[in-house]
A and B are shown apart, each in its own frame.
Chain A
């Protein structure tokens, strides 16, 4: 049976990031790993393609702590998960990630549909899907908002800056979805329990046909700092100031600045 491979990223949620006011550095201690939000739409898109075409649905991920991602991902409709969890991948860049994912896809075998989502919430680089397509030498359809499948034929719509492009293409292909492709249902109790029984397969770097050296980043991270904000943060209605007074003072400030 042919397979659909959905790539998902195991990312740190950004809602609990604390910024140190003085150093502008980030404290991520409270942040938890989760399946990247857009990838949940990608997983659901995979479920729909599976329903319509009878393919097998596998999830693919790599990076730190991805072994612990399997249960969550499997509760979202996957038949199995393949993960590459190796400390050597801690600072992998976009070049390496796409190469390793392409290698994993080949290792899984019989994959003729790859689904990525537009972006991950941490880097928002919007590169992985098209990069994988280029490496596999398969057509790339990015920013897909509608995906229909009939056997090996795909009809897609993609949303671009100047409008909608309707595309028809046969598998194999790489689809990079936008979240509008369809909402991802929240897994129910049954899905979560069922996930425990599904296979989660560990792969090693060697399985990708690459060496750890070939996955070394081509760029170095110099710093990660919150942007300097020079906002005034002036409260217009502190205790004792009415809203009318606050509004008048605000309008005055804006007029003096030449804005109103």
Chain B
């Protein structure tokens, strides 16, 4: 029986990581480390962890500074795997823990598999152009996993296990202030249908046309990175891709988006992809189920009319 650790930014992610751990070894004993209080740690037990530690966010310290404590504990407990939520704090903590343990760490991995002691998984390379499959027999392997990488384990309130708070030893960096993220009105990851706006839109006011299309088909509006990052026409939370939002909608309609790998990575799990682009040869068409070669100025009114029809 293997010991597998999971380290989660929040209880929901812990549910996902429990599933990942069980997929590697159905009989594994899971120790959970969850950011938050002991109630949050207890949630991980209801998902199937044998025991759990709370890692409260220190008022004036970095949460990732739990890394040395975790690494020391791992040296004695010798978990075979440490599965970590691929949140920003999680990634930092995973990398630091990996360095301290001289362990391989696979970032945002998929297709985790174990055959004997040989572990393998896939990671995206070249902006999502390809998947690199790696294998290792290292004694401890660290993997970071996305929030939707596995179907979350179901809670069972009757499960019990020890719950405690992990000691924290503060590092040199001091947190002087935390400004919570302003909640956006759009919640792209939960949207069933998404229209994506790209640089095919040359003026901010033109986005109204994309919004009209979205309204006609009941979709939210997202965008490619340049629209949010360079032009700042839409909030950063709206950009889709490897360094932005990773979505799993029923429908994604890319309008005026060239389809670079970094962008399409964010919608590769969409059920259906539609592309509207004037360039017949564009990559987005290659990555679509249905495409229209034409300008959005011509195509959007036609689709709106048909959808309302």
Contacts and interface: CB of A to CB of B under 8 A. Distances in A.
Is the pairing of A and B real?
A: yes
A170 B103 CA distance: 29
Contact of A260 (B128, B179, B217): B217
B251 A259 contact: yes
Interface in A106-128: 119, 121-128
Interface stretch (B23-31, B133-141, B148-156, B201-209): B133-141
Nearest to B172: A139
Contacts of B290: 232, 234-236, 250, 253
Contacts of B220: none
A163 B130 contact: no
Interface in B124-182: 124-136, 138, 171-181
Contacts of A219: 104, 134-136, 138
A134 B99 contact: yes
A57 interface: no
A1 interface: no
Dominant SS among interface residues on chain B: mixed
Given A93-B104, A95-B98, A235-B293, A224 B132 contact: yes
B270 to A, nearest CB: 10
Given A167-B173, A225-B131, A247-B302, A231 B287 contact: yes
Interface residues of B, number: 83
Nearest to A137: B68
A63 interface: no
Most buried by B among A161, A164, A176: A161
A229 interface: yes
A202 interface: no
Contacts of A126: 91, 95, 107
Given A126-B95, A176-B92, A248-B306, 8 more contacts: A19-B130, A130-B95, A130-B99, A218-B103, A219-B104, A226-B130, A226-B131, A253-B290
29 contacts: A14-B126, A26-B126, A123-B125, A125-B123, A127-B95, A130-B91, A130-B93, A130-B95, A134-B68, A139-B173, A140-B62, A140-B173, A160-B89, A163-B179, A163-B180, A167-B175, A179-B229, A218-B104, A219-B134, A221-B132, A222-B120, A223-B132, A226-B129, A232-B288, A233-B285, A246-B292, A247-B305, A251-B309, A260-B217
